[in-house]
Structure 1
Amino acid sequence: MFLWVAIVMGIIEGITEFLPVSSTGHLIVAGHMLDFTGDKAKTFEIVIQLGSILAVVVLYWNRLWSLLGVGKMAKKENSLNLGHIFIAIMPAVIIGLLVHDFIKAHLFSPKTVIVGLVIGGFLMLIAEKVQNKKGVNASDLDDMTYKQALKIGLFQCLSLWPGFSRSGATISGGLISGLNHRTAADFSFIQAVPIMIAASGLDLYKSRDILSAADLPFFLTGFVTAFLVAAVAILFFVKLIAKVKLTPFAYYRFIIAAVLAVFFYL
């Protein structure tokens, strides 16, 4: 396993994990083009995903501490708290535990990813229209209600389908629930931390038997690369989405779905 492969995969993961474009679809294409597939490749994807999660922890450090009642942000009345996070992640956690093995065994294929990309793209277009029609009633994380957190959590369940995109589903759910684009993106990233750590940790534990000390340089390179790139991508995205909305990302998803269809089936 060459280190440049780890760097390339780490860059792709870092860019796409928190953008509503499906990191799964991009990693599938990249893995096949680089001839990097199989069980070890799947485990590597879990490791670099943890690198991306670490970027969120670093960038949203103060806000994450405030959830525990620590810091200036926690002193605001009716501020975002652990209750919002718990309500948002529980639907996907419950359903994910019930269907995790089925998804891993049957849904990780180019065909299912293509379907997820397309349907997720249409959801994003619909979310933009709904928000334009209903307007915004939460322009800051501290304006969010528990009901809005629950709606976003229900939309997050759609991301259990490979290719649908967790951020695409949750940001769309946020817009439909009345959040503005920046707030929807911020909440999507913050509530991703516990659910992604839990999911990645479970996958990594189940894959422990195929890892060895010799894999450490390769995996560490991908982890660090994903962390650094994800940090830049998040900072760029939260500024960009307020200006361009979700529509360009939806059309980009359609393009990627077409590329996957040609690559695997023509």
Structure 2
Amino acid sequence: MRFFRKLISQFLITHEGKSEVGFCTDLDEILRDQGNVTLKVGQNKIILDLCNIHERRYAACLSTPLRYPQYDIDTLLMERFVRQGDRILDGGANIGLTALQFLHSGASFVECVEALPWLSERIRRLGDARISVTEAALSQRSGAFVDIAISKTHNQGSTYDSAVIAKFSHIFGDDVKFITTPTITIDSLQSGPFDIWKLDVEGAEIDVINGAYQSLKDCPPRAIFTEFWDERVNEFASLVSSSHPIVYRAGISKDKYQLKLLDMESFQSSSEAFFPISPTYVFLRADYQKI
């Protein structure tokens, strides 16, 4: 397979025992786990650190038609909801990959809010004037400080939420390391308003939405993408119900590998039909066209 040979030449140590590939996770044991690789997202370049498992998988996906549901859900949501010229809020922007994907999908501007300085710096190095970087943690008030627990196993999942630290204790270790970072609210961001909010804030979603009261009232985004691992999704839905009464659980179907949007109850009853990914939700304004 041509794409497999291309992948081997760039990232792999050996192809022994691999004759057919469908998902990049099939290659975890043979993907190179050190060094960097530079790849393109649209017209932009991004440097990926192969020491991190998810960045190795991103590299595989960007180089081949391999599937990775945890990665593909973002691109599928963008294909469905991003419109030409959209302004995007990327909360918890990590290394800036989703920002580049938003631009490639037609967005004209992305405000990346990222609390960890080493990740913010990686976004700045992308060198695109359409990307702005705010080095802070989205929260319910600006000008305060929070202690963020740092993931030890990879550069995702860092959080100031104690419930998240407890649930994913394996990525923080017994001796949890923290970094103190400033906070900022959505309402205080000078680059708004935005057409889409992507909130990947690891347990801080309720705080973040409490810091967005004025924005939700005056200029609500067309859509909000976020993840929830617990029942706080119901509290979030209640808080945004006036501006975003339409709520969907998003998934990728196993039969046709397509994006599906179902109400939460319907998704729960048919969850076996979808690939396992972080529980992803879409909140829409009442004036959004019917899915």
> What is the TM-score of this pair, normalised by structure 2?
0.26
Higher percent of residues as strand:
2
> What is the TM-score of this pair, normalised by structure 1?
0.28
Q: Which has the larger radius of gyration?
A: 2
Query: Looking at both structures, which has the greater relative contact order when contacts are Cα pairs under 8 Å and sequence separation is at least 6?
Result: 1
Higher percent of residues as helix:
1
